[in-house]
């Protein structure tokens, strides 16, 4: 029996385990209770929401909020727009990040230190909102979905982490591929990227969540309300005291508070559903990153 196992098998070790589990359970409940309240409120009646300050299960279950949302052309269009922008944006941003990280992983690249210094510089100092807006305007990207994707196409932190991951890959694999006649792009596509699925999946999720939750970019760059994303609709719904059926373009009169909860739930669930599918890549990425070749 190992020394560490003996230590945690003592009375003090068991007491520590119990205290640790209780503390983490309490913190977990504090984190999940607000979402459970919002979820319960989305199925509650307007009267119950206004009369009960807090509840985790509604006395009377109703789906009027969801029926109102799903019958709204404005909401359905914004949801579809957000899905497409998130999918395309994640592919573009992850692709550009990998294309820049691969050459920077080469120690013999001319000017490598200078480029890396500039990348680190952008992590500390940014241009700011107004200069970025002027650049987007001069590029003719205003009122286009590319304005939501290209300004943050390459995240400096993600770039450095992916570059470091590429550097850990055995160079013999690339050398053997080049002996077989592969060029740099073919090596990247057929050797490096398949071996980098864990780190790529991790940052794909980061990029996707960032695009999905972004409301500042649509607010700044999209003046056409028909191009609004889900977060803009969420902002409008939560900021309004109440919404009429005409404003939501729906035949079902929306509850004043219940619809706010329902929109928050619908905007949150897709992100929550993505984590379990990518969890295995997180664990695999940690194992691969801890092994030195």
Residue burial 30-53, b: 16+ Cβ < 10 Å; e: rest: eeeeeeebbbbbbbbbbebbeeee
Q: Longest C-alpha distance within the chain, in Å? A: 74
Q: Is the pLDDT of residue 100 over 90?
A: yes
| Residue 12 pLDDT | 79
- Residue 170: closest CA among 202, 195, 199, 200: 195
Q: Which of 235, 255, 236 is nearest to 245 (CA)?
A: 255
Place of tokens 């196409």: 153
The CATH number given to whatever domain includes residue 158 is 1.10.3720.10
Identify the pLDDT of residue 290.
Answer: 41
**Structural domains counted in the chain:** 2
Judgement on whether residues 46 and 132 belong to the same structural domain of the protein: no
Q: What is the Cα–Cα distance from 11 to 181, expressed in whole angstroms?
A: 63
Whole-number Å distance between alpha carbons of 58 and 49: 9
Amino acid 247: pLDDT: 53
Instruction: Please write the tens of the pLDDT for every residue from 36-88.
Output: 998 988 888 888 888 888 888 888 888 888 888 888 888 889 999 999 999 99
Q: Are residues 109 and 223 in the same domain?
A: yes
Domain stops at, among 62, 89, 108: 62
Produce one character per residue of 113-132: b if its CB has 16 or more CB atoms within 10 Å, e if not.
Answer: eeebeebeeeeeeeeeeeeb
Host domain of residue 38: 1-62
Instruction: Let me know: does 149 contact 85? Beta carbons within 8 Å.
Output: yes
38 and 111 part of one domain? no
pLDDT above 90 as % of the chain = 24
Reduced to 3 states (helix: H, G, I; strand: E, B; else coil), residue 24 is: helix
Lowest mean pLDDT among 12-21, 69-78, 213-222, 242-251: 242-251
Q: Are residues 183 and 268 in the same domain?
A: yes
pLDDT score, position 4? 52
Residues 6+ apart with CB under 8 A from 217: 147, 148, 151
Q: Quick one: pLDDT at residue 293? A: 41
7 and 128 in a common domain: no
* Pair 42, 8 in one domain: yes
Per-residue pLDDT for 151 more than 70?
Answer: yes
Sign of the Cα torsion 236, 238, 77, 212 reads positive
Interatomic CA distance for residues 30 and 50, integer angstroms: 23
- Both 30 and 143 in a single domain? no
More confident position, 204 or 13: 204
Boundary of a domain, candidates 37, 62, 87:
62
The most confident of the ranges 94-98, 122-126, 180-184, 265-269 is 94-98
**Domain shared by 5 and 53, yes or no:** yes
Structure tokens at 242: 């109440």
Same domain flag for 22 and 99 = no
Q: Per-residue pLDDT averaged across 13-30, rounded?
A: 89
Above 80 in pLDDT, residue 9? Answer: no
Q: Mind listing the pLDDT tens digit for each residue in 248-290? A: 555 545 556 888 888 889 888 888 887 777 666 665 554 554 4
pTM over 0.75: yes
pLDDT for 179 equals 84
- Start-to-end Cα distance in the chain: 30
Asked if residue 89 and residue 4 are part of one domain, the reply reads no
Q: Which two tokens stand for residue 293?
A: 């070749």
Q: If you ran DSSP here, which 8-state letter would residue 180 be given?
A: T
Question: Are the beta carbons of 151 and 217 closer than 8 angstroms?
Answer: yes
């Amino acid at each position: 029996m190992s020394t560490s196992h003996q230590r945690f098998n003592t009375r003090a070790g068991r007491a520590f385990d119990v205290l640790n589990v209780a503390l983490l359970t309490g913190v977990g409940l504090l984190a999940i209770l607000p979402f459970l309240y919002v979820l319960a409120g989305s199925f509650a009646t307007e009267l119950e929401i206004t009369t009960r300050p807090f509840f985790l299960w509604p006395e009377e279950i109703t789906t009027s909020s969801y029926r109102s949302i799903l019958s709204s052309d404005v909401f359905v269009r914004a949801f579809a727009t957000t899905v497409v922008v998130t999918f395309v944006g994640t592919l573009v941003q992850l692709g550009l990040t990998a294309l820049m990280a691969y050459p920077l992983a080469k120690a013999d690249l001319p000017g490598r230190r200078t480029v890396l210094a500039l990348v680190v510089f952008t992590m500390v100092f940014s241009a700011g909102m107004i200069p970025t807006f002027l650049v987007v305007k001069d590029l003719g990207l205003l009122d286009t979905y590319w304005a939501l994707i290209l300004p943050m196409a390459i995240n400096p932190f993600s770039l450095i982490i992916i570059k470091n991951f590429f550097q850990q890959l055995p160079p013999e694999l690339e050398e053997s591929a080049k002996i077989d006649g592969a060029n740099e792009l073919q090596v990247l596509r057929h050797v490096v990227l398949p071996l980098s699925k864990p780190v790529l999946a991790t940052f794909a999720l980061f990029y996707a969540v960032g695009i999905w939750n972004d409301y500042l970019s649509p607010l700044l760059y999209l003046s056409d309300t028909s191009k609004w994303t889900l977060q803009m609709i969420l902002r409008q719904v939560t900021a309004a005291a109440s919404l009429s059926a005409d404003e939501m373009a729906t035949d079902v009169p929306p509850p004043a508070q219940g619809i706010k909860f329902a929109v928050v739930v619908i905007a949150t669930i897709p992100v929550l559903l993505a984590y379990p599918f990518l969890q295995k890549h997180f664990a695999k990425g940690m194992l691969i990153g801890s092994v030195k070749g």
